């Protein structure tokens, strides 16, 4: 094995011009494919950190009503799920925060769809979210205040998206009425005051209608009691592993509050990335098509190269090399070139992605924002993309070795020697 | 001028390599034809889809509504933005050459409510004359239409918007498992006792606390068409409409003709969940045609902080699917909608216009604008590009992505051709030396190489175009699966000679340019050296 590896290395450099062609082709293709997959990863990352991050800030663990997960799986409607909350969440937060692996615990609300009545006009389907002031890093870190100030703590304070300033014609200090019905169907008409406008750090048109209010105000809009919250999100310290802490907290919660349960984040919050998921599927299908054509190209180049290296193969035979040994050696040679090329492609892709991310291509065009998943182009890297890409190129190598080497190694040593003598 | 003969002879001599290169280029050309067809088919069909189902080619709207249509992410205030469309306007529009149909429309948004008041979904309700609907929106996929209607029926028939993926019931409706139970601990023990007490014949007395045996018994009870007869009277002493409805449904099925077992299990599960609402999760109501529903929308004019909604009794008469993923339009006849909304005879939210030829959009738009101006009307005319602002980015994004891939394939051809000619130059040095000795100049030999590439690419183009066209034809016939943006998630391709020609025009110059790099080596060859090498 070591000998074939050694010879494969030597052959790569002995035939560097030919190796270079395959190397360039594979590098180019893996760079482009990597950038495509990065774009798709970036769309999803933008969406997850932007709009989804504001609604359901990513956390390590989530505390919910004990029956919430089962009821959702059983297909129970929002009317019934909305009633399943974490009661006495403040006392519970304190207990959970006391665990040494826990970094932060904060309440997360569900959006309440209600209207906003301002200057004699009513706007429907505004989404109201509550924040607990002082324990709201998950919101503060994701937004920028464009006018006015962040929520002061007054129960009637509202923080609106900057686009609402023009769309609704509201200003800081304006009195507005939140109208419609609570989560439990009671009529709702409560006076609020606009305290400021924000922009999400990763903006998307779908975030435009999210309005923040302190938990006390959210209680008026949603119909929840003061000490009631739909979920508690738990962030762990970096060095902590989530599974043991999950088990530890499950035991703790069983004793202090059997009405709640703690889960992994992904079990509770399933992200709705339908469109971006569909685009990713299309991209992956097309990478398959490219890999298929590239496979033929590489097979062609390899078999042509080997035909040209007939004398070399003949010499190996004369020196006592077996067919199996030569197959192994040439397969290793192709594998090394392809692997090195795909690594180079990925590195170039990573560099290109970091340069493009560094330049920070931002757009105010809403159409482009929808395509990017946010208001900036983000090229992200995921392990699955790298595995997919490397796996595809290894498949190219394996197919090439399987179908090209067999015929190319059918060289008669006598003929090869005669050719060498000439 | 014997060069062409030499080209053919050379190709014959090196046919093995030529064949391989041809196959490779043919594959690339087939891929390019496929990608170009996919790119154009996606874009054209997507644009056609939203024109044919949602926007039409042109629409006359209120000036404020125009702004909202151009920027669909903006919020509009409650209340309808109405325009006056009288007979003169409609006659003018229908008289324009190239206009297939012009339909006045009332578009409003609201919610579907089931009889118990639960919301079943929200929709954009499009009030349009049924005949006009087919002419203006021919791409609507209308299905399951129930023709049997009672002439005295007062509920307005509605073509419900297509069922979205989140509306599909994902849990079994004909079985009871542990996941259906809302209780635990002592409450579960109490429920087990209640169930055994209510339906003793389904539960063995000696089962004790065996949970799985209890669930099996509960599940077995679902199969009994006469389960409703066993409901103890004490459960019916206090009126509960859910229970009464569940019993009525079970009775209708149990006493009626023989029916499917899954249907019996479904109504019995509903019955048990109505009987023990705290213990068994309610069974999701399926979306059914023919059942009385309510459409609730805001008042078109009266805007207050709290105002009474307009409530319209409706019945789903069928389904109408417009844009998959984004299609939220339901349809009903315009007159009843106008009556409920109390709109005047000539009051509408828009007039949708369908043209025979998309190429005439700009000229007809200008003509209508001139007419409106002449009548002193402030209404605006929007074309499908402005109204499709919410849809076009997806189509554009995919188009750009596919264009990059076409470029990638051209680059692949360039690389492979360069490799092939490089090898040929090395391999054919002796041959080059011989012909140079016989009087052919290196320039002529370079031309010979280029001629070979021209022939190889042309032959490959024929093969690739054929292969690509076959693949395109397959997708044109059966559709490309996984395309969630289209009906049935299928994208049907459109074959075009332009794609085949473009593939040739992209690849040939690329291949010739690629060949120039190794061929330039031939030009630098010194005949004396080559001859010495040959000896």
Is B352 found in the same domain as B497? no
- List the single range of B53-62, B277-286, B419-428 with lowest mean pLDDT: B419-428
Q: What is the pLDDT of residue B381?
A: 96
Provide the edge-to-edge strand list for the sheet that holds A231-236: A102-108, A231-236, A61-65, A260-264
The answer on pLDDT for B215 being more than 90 is no
- Give me the half-sphere count of Cα atoms (radius 13 Å) on the Cβ side of residue B177: 10
The secondary structure of B196-227 as a DSSP string is HHHSGGGS-GGGTT-HHHHHHHHHHHTT-TTG
Integer Cα distance of B223 and B233 in angstroms: 21
B472-481 pLDDT, tens digit per residue, is 999 999 998 8
Which residue, B232, B251, B275, sits at the end of a domain? Answer: B275
* Closest CA of chain B from A69, distance in Å: 10
In a domain, B282, yes or no: no
Domain boundaries, chain A: 2-50+273-421, 59-268
Q: Which two tokens stand for residue A416?
A: 């090869």
For testing the chain A interface, which of B75, B279, B394, B399 should be mutated: the one with the most A CBs within 10 Å? B75
* Closest CA of chain B from A312, distance in Å: 14
In a domain, B170, yes or no: no
The beta-carbon contacts of B324-328 under 8 Å, at least 24 apart in sequence, are B324/B162, B324/B484, B324/B485, B324/B486, B324/B487, B324/B489, B325/A274, B325/A275, B325/A278, B325/B484, B325/B485, B326/B390, B326/B391, B327/B53, B327/B54, B327/B161, B327/B162, B328/B122, B328/B123, B328/B124, B328/B161
Residue A176: CB atoms within 10 Å:
23
Confirm whether pTM is higher than 0.90. no
Element (H, E) at A61: strand A61-65
Report the SS3 class of residue B160: strand
State the alpha helices, DSSP H only, in A50-169.
51-55, 68-73, 78-81, 89-97, 137-140, 163-168
In a domain, B56, yes or no: no
**Nearest neighbour of B325 by CB, restricted to A76, A208, A275:** A275
* Closest CA of chain B from A177, distance in Å: 7
In a domain, B283, yes or no: no
Average pLDDT, integer, range B86-95: 95
Q: Does B344 touch chain A (CB under 8 A)?
A: no
- Total domains in chain B come to 3
In a domain, B172, yes or no: no
Output DSSP code: residue A141.
T
Q: Which of residues 122-141 of A touch B (CB under 8 A)?
A: 122-126
Q: With the C-alpha atoms ordered A126, A367, A44, B163, is the resulting torsion angle positive or negative? A: positive
* Residue among A173, A79, A93 nearest A132 (CA): A93
- Identify whether the C-beta of residue B323 lies closer than 8 Å to the C-beta of residue B72: no
Q: Cβ of B77 and A122 within 8 Å?
A: yes
**pLDDT tier for residue B327 given thresholds of 50, 70 and 90:** confident
Element (H, E) at B373: helix B361-374
A17-67 pLDDT, tens digit per residue, is 778 878 888 888 889 888 888 988 888 888 888 877 888 888 999 999 999
**Nearest neighbour of B408 by CB, restricted to A32, A168, A275:** A32
Integer Cα distance of A407 and A391 in angstroms: 25
Q: Which two tokens stand for residue A309?
A: 């290296």
Is B530 found in the same domain as B411? yes
- The owner of tokens 């021919």 is B138
Is B184 found in the same domain as B122? no
What are the counts of helices (DSSP H) followed by strands (DSSP E) for chain B? 17, 12
Q: Which of residues 32-61 of B touch A (CB under 8 A)?
A: 34-35
Integer Cα distance of B486 and B504 in angstroms: 30
**Residues above pLDDT 90, as percent of chain B:** 41
- The owner of tokens 């075009």 is B496
Q: Cβ of A29 and B412 within 8 Å?
A: yes
B347-377 pLDDT, tens digit per residue, is 999 999 999 999 999 999 999 999 999 999 9
Q: What is the pairing mode between strands A175-181 and A86-87?
A: unpaired
Is B345 found in the same domain as B208? no
Is B419 found in the same domain as B498? yes
- CA of residue A189 relative to chain centroid, distance: 39
Does residue B418 or residue B226 have the better pLDDT? B226
Is B266 found in the same domain as B184? yes
Is B526 found in the same domain as B403? yes
Q: Does A422 touch chain B (CB under 8 A)?
A: no
Chain B residue numbers with beta carbons less than 8 Å from the beta carbon of A370 are 390, 393-394
B136-167 pLDDT, tens digit per residue, is 999 999 988 875 666 666 789 999 998 877 77
Chain B, nearest residue to A283 by Cα:
B401
Residues 6+ apart with CB under 8 A from B144: B289, B318, B319
Q: Cβ of B78 and A79 within 8 Å?
A: no
B417-460 pLDDT, tens digit per residue, is 777 777 777 777 777 777 777 777 777 877 888 888 889 899 99
Q: With the C-alpha atoms ordered B1, B2, B5, B10, is the resulting torsion angle positive or negative? A: negative
Q: What is the pLDDT of residue B153?
A: 67
Is B16 found in the same domain as B118? no
**Nearest neighbour of A76 by CB, restricted to B281, B307, B393:** B281
Kindly report the backbone phi and psi dihedral angles of residue B315, in degrees, each rounded to the nearest multiple of 5, phi listed first. -145, 135
Q: Which of residues 481-520 of B touch A (CB under 8 A)?
A: 482-485
**pLDDT tier for residue B519 given thresholds of 50, 70 and 90:** confident
In a domain, B523, yes or no: yes
Q: Which of residues 318-357 of A touch B (CB under 8 A)?
A: none
Q: Which two tokens stand for residue B250?
A: 């079970």
SS3 of B28-91: the string is: HHHHHHHHHHHHHHHHHHHHHHHHHHHHCCEEEECHHHHHHHHCCCCCCECCCCCEECCHHHHH
* Closest CA of chain A from B371, distance in Å: 31
Chain B residue numbers with beta carbons less than 8 Å from the beta carbon of A115 are 78, 305
Q: What is the pairing mode between strands B350-355 and B329-332?
A: unpaired
CA dihedral A74, A79, A84, A88 (to 10 degrees): 170
Q: What is the pLDDT of residue B531?
A: 63
Q: What is the pLDDT of residue A1?
A: 67
Q: Which parts of chain A register pLDDT below 50?
A: 421-422
**Nearest neighbour of A123 by CB, restricted to B16, B78, B397:** B78
Q: Where in the sequence is the domain holding B398, given as residue range(s)?
A: 3-49+391-534
Burial (CB < 10 A; 0-12, 13-18, 19+), residue A399, is: middle
Query: Bridge partners of A126?
Result: A114
Is the ipTM here above 0.95? no
Does residue A409 or residue B189 have the better pLDDT? B189
**Nearest neighbour of B77 by CB, restricted to A32, A123, A278:** A123
Q: What is the pLDDT of residue B478?
A: 94
Element (H, E) at B382: strand B380-383
Q: What is the pLDDT of residue A422?
A: 45
Q: What is the pairing mode between strands A175-181 and A228-229?
A: unpaired
Q: Which two tokens stand for residue A225?
A: 């009691």
Q: What is the pairing mode between strands B119-127 and B99-113?
A: antiparallel
- Give me the half-sphere count of Cα atoms (radius 13 Å) on the Cβ side of residue B401: 26
Chain A residue numbers with beta carbons less than 8 Å from the beta carbon of B35 are 286
Which residue, B352, B378, B404, sits at the end of a domain? Answer: B378
**Nearest neighbour of A293 by CB, restricted to B17, B28, B109:** B28
**Nearest neighbour of A274 by CB, restricted to B23, B306, B325:** B325
- The owner of tokens 């009871």 is B176
* Closest CA of chain A from B172, distance in Å: 9
């Amino acid at each position: 094995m070591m000998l074939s590896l050694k010879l494969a290395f030597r052959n790569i450099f002995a035939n560097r011009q030919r190796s270079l062609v395959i190397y360039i082709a594979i590098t180019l293709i893996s760079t482009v494919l990597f950038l495509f997959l990065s774009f798709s990863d970036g769309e999803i990352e933008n969406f997850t950190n932007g709009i989804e991050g504001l609604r359901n800030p990513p956390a390590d663990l989530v505390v919910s009503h004990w029956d919430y997960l089962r009821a959702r799986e059983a297909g129970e409607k929002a009317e019934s799920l909305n009633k399943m909350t974490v009661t006495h969440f403040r006392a519970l937060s304190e207990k959970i925060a006391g665990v040494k692996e826990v970094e932060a615990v904060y309440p997360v609300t569900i959006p309440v769809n209600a209207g906003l009545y301002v200057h004699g006009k009513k706007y429907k389907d505004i989404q109201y979210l509550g924040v607990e002031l002082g324990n709201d890093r998950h919101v503060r870190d994701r937004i920028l205040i464009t006018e006015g100030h962040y929520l002061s703590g007054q129960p009637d304070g509202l923080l609106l998206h900057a686009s609402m300033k023009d769309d609704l014609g509201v200003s800081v200090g304006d009195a507005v009425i939140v109208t419609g019905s609570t989560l439990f169907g009671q009529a709702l008409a409560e006076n609020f005051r606009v305290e400021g406008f924000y922009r999400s750090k990763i903006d998307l048109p779908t975030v435009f209608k999210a309005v923040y209010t302190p938990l006390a105000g959210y209680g008026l809009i949603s119909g929840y009691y003061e000490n009631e919250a739909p979920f508690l999100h738990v962030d762990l310290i970096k060095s902590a592993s989530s599974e043991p802490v999950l088990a530890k907290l499950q035991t703790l919660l069983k004793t202090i509050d059997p009405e709640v349960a703690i889960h992994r984040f992904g079990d509770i919050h399933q992200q709705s990335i339908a469109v971006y998921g569909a685009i990713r599927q299309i991209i992956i299908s097309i990478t398959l098509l490219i890999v298929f054509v590239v496979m033929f190209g590489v097979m062609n180049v390899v078999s042509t190269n080997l035909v040209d290296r007939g004398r070399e193969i003949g010499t190996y035979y004369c020196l006592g090399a077996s067919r199996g040994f030569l197959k192994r050696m040439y397969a290793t040679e192709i594998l090394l070139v392809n692997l090195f090329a795909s690594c180079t492609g990925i590195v170039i892709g990573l560099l290109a992605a970091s340069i493009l991310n560094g330049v920070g291509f931002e757009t105010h065009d809403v159409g482009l924002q929808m395509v990017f998943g946010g208001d900036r182009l983000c090229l992200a890297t995921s392990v699955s993309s790298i595995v997919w890409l490397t796996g595809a190129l290894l498949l190219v190598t394996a197919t090439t070795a399987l179908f090209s080497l067999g015929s190319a190694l059918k060289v008669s040593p006598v003929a090869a020697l005669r050719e060498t003598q000439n | 001028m014997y060069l062409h003969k030499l080209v053919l002879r050379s190709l014959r001599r090196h046919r093995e390599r030529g064949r391989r290169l041809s196959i490779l280029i043919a594959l690339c050309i087939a891929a390019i034809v496929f990608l170009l067809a996919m790119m154009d088919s996606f874009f054209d069909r997507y644009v056609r889809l939203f024109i044919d189902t949602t926007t039409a080619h042109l629409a006359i709207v209120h000036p404020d509504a125009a702004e909202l249509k151009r920027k669909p992410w903006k919020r509009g205030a409650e209340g309808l933005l109405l325009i006056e469309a009288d007979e003169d306007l409609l006659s003018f529009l229908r008289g324009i050459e190239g206009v297939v149909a012009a339909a006045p429309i009332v578009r409003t948004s609201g919610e579907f409510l089931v009889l118990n008041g639960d919301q079943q979904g929200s929709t954009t309700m499009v009030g349009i004359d049924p005949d006009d609907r087919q002419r203006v929106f021919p791409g609507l996929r209308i299905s399951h239409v129930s023709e049997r209607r009672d002439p005295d029926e007062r509920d307005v028939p509605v073509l419900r918007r297509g069922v979205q993926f989140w509306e599909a019931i994902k849990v079994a409706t004909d079985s009871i498992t542990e996941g259906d139970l809302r209780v635990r601990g002592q409450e579960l023990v109490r429920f087990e006792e209640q169930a055994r007490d209510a339906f003793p014949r389904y539960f063995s007395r000696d089962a004790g606390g065996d949970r799985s045996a209890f669930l099996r018994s509960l599940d077995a009870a679902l199969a009994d068409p006469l389960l409703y007869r066993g409901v103890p009277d004490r459960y019916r002493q206090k009126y509960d409409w859910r229970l009464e409805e569940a019993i009525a449904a079970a009775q209708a099925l149990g006493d009626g003709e023989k029916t499917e077992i899954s249907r019996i299990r479904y109504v019995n599960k509903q019955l048990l969940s109505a009987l023990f609402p705290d213990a068994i999760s309610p069974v999701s109501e399926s979306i059914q045609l023919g059942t009385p529903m309510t459409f609730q929308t805001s008042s078109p004019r009266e805007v207050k902080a709290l105002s009474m909604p307009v409530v319209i009794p409706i019945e789903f008469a069928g389904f109408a699917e417009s844009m998959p993923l984004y299609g939220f339009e339901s349809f009903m006849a315009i007159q009843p909608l106008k009556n409920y909304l109390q709109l005047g005879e000539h009051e509408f939210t828009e007039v949708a216009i369908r043209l025979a030829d998309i190429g005439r959009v700009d000229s007809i738009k200008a003509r209508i604008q001139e007419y409106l101006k002449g009548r002193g009307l402030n209404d605006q005319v929007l074309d499908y590009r402005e109204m499709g602002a919410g849809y076009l980015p997806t189509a554009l994004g995919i188009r750009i992505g596919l264009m990059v891939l076409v470029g990638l394939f051209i680059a692949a051809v360039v690389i492979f051709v360069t490799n092939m000619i490089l090898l040929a130059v090395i391999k054919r040095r002796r041959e080059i030396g011989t012909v140079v000795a016989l009087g052919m100049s290196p320039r002529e030999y370079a031309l010979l190489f280029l001629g070979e590439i021209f022939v190889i690419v042309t032959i490959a183009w024929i093969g690739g175009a054929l292969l690509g066209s076959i693949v395109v034809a397959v997708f044109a016939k059966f559709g490309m699966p996984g395309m969630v943006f289209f009906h049935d998630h299928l994208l049907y391709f459109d074959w075009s000679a332009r794609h085949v020609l473009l593939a040739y025009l992209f690849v040939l110059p690329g291949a010739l340019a690629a060949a120039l790099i190794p061929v330039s080596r031939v030009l630098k060859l010194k005949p004396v050296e080559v001859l010495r090498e040959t000896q």
